[in-house]
Structure 1
Amino acid sequence: MMKDSYLKKILFGLKYLTIYYISASMICFAIPKFLFMQFRVLHYASYAPLVEVSKTQHMWSFFGRSYHYNLFIGITEFLIGVLIVFRRTRLIALLMALGVYSNILILNIEFDIDFAIGHTFVDFVLIVVLLSEYYGDLYKFFIQSGGKFNHVMNTGQNMFKQYFPVFFVVVLSVSYFIFAFNLRATVNEDVVGAYKIERLSINNTPVILNNGNLGSDPMMFLEYNNQIVLSVNDTVYYGHYVLVKDSIKIRMNHPTNFNLQSMDGLIKNKNKISGEMDEKKLFQLDYTRIDGKKDYLNDLY
């Protein structure tokens, strides 16, 4: 009897750990969608021919095409995260979660989101296990009773059980929203985008540029993850950049065919970068932001 009592306590504790784990996962997945932080597509990737786009990019770009769709998914996930911690609404949350996780699991498998398959499968199994507690009621509701439950819930709860779920949801939601908002604020959306390179000069000498592998013009892409991509002269060059107010530092992974490896300069009027590159050479790059009608990502974010 003593062993059975300990086992019941352990199972009871594991059950509630699982419930709050699912809740935290759903809330933390939802909030980035409210801020349009998930499913962001890199600007340069959107210029790749469709036949060269991976299944992962196909899915990512589809979900990232609409903020309102992200908002819909986020609200659903947030509701699951909130409702699951309350006993009266737990079954509703679990049924919603079963549908959501089934969809996510199939998407991850079919679109090669390999890094997410493992934890999604584990979460799906945990939801099924939690739902198994309601098997009898679900069978009665869907098969026998045609929609009637005769079960009377005991409403008596101690103060901890009554208020801790509210405390958990509020604290997690507010704190994670603040974290996500501050993380998003590190991205300068006025700089991120796709640009047509109009002119490039080194030591006041013009450099002739032709279009690269991406787009029909010489292109520069400044991404939200601090990646810079130059598509010029039938080649694509990758690097990274760091912004501090109006100053920008660019470091390319490999030298370009006009010998750009690094550059420190200033962004002027949102259409010009001027400064010094390798060997103290003067560098000036004039560019134009691609119109949103030609590149929807420039207007989307």
Structure 2
Amino acid sequence: MSALTTKAPAPTDQGPQQPAPGKGRRPTREKQWPAYVFLSPWMIGAVVLTLVPMAVSLYLSFTDYNLFDPPKWIGLRNYTDMLTDDPRYWRSVGTTMLYVVVAVPLKLGFALGVAMLLKNLGRGRAFYRSAFYAPSLLGASMSIALVWRALFNDGGTVSRVLDTIGIHTGGWVGNADLSVYVIVLLTVWQFGAPMVIFLAGLQQISPDLYEAAALDGAGRWRQFISVTVPMLSPVVFFNLVLEVINSFQVFTPAFAVSGGEGGPADSTLFYTLYLYERGFTASHMGYASAMAWLLLIAIGVVTLILFRTSRSWVFYADEEGR
């Protein structure tokens, strides 16, 4: 008889078996489609209402377009005429820069001062916070701007009050040296939005920091410089960026105070007001489109400068010890 040899079966334990492709696992795209459905209104709006108009505006900036005839390609002529042969353009730039430099620090300073007063206020804080915030909701309307113009017009309330104390300025609206400050004061009056943000930031500062500073002999002013300002610097930076961007785009107050003409002597000819005049009054839509793109570039450059310089004065608590 021949000997029969048997072999032990080879081990089959090779770890967990992987499912075959396409089985036991739903494709990732099938899991993501609900997100695209919910995002689709925003995506459609961004394309139709933002990206497409921006592309059309960029094209029109290189054309001669009067809203009635087909656009005519002229290359860089709008930009060269604007920068080299339009003195009113540079006056609008100067007026806007003056407004930004004066209005933004005043508004933020006033908002921070009121926020610090409300921080230490016990009862009634919610009422005063709402009352101070209300002008931010109302101040951008045309009706409030017209009321403001009436207050500072010749024979208005402001001129009469100043006359009673011996300050004879006349109407600010008709004074080329003072008219821009009517709009500045209207902007400062709308300090409610940055004030609320400042108040939220102040409430996040630990009282232990003030107690430690007081133990070291620091007075209120020293505590403000050494504790409040550094700890609040991210909030200051946030408000600063928002207010600078908004100030470059101011339009409604300038239109209402000047009657849409930027007077007297172009003293209230803000950039956006001149853009509106060139586009919709003079029907030079190509020129206005070029102005809009230069404004976008200018805002981008200023914002980039603010972000670059913020590294030297903005303090973030989570960066300590890095």
Please state which structure has a larger fraction of its residues in strand.
1
Which structure has the greater CA radius of gyration?
Answer: 2
Same structural fold, with TM-score higher than 0.5 when normalized by the shorter chain = no
Q: What is the TM-score with the length of structure 1 in the denominator?
A: 0.25
Please state which structure has a larger fraction of its residues in helix.
2
Q: What is the TM-score with the length of structure 2 in the denominator?
A: 0.24
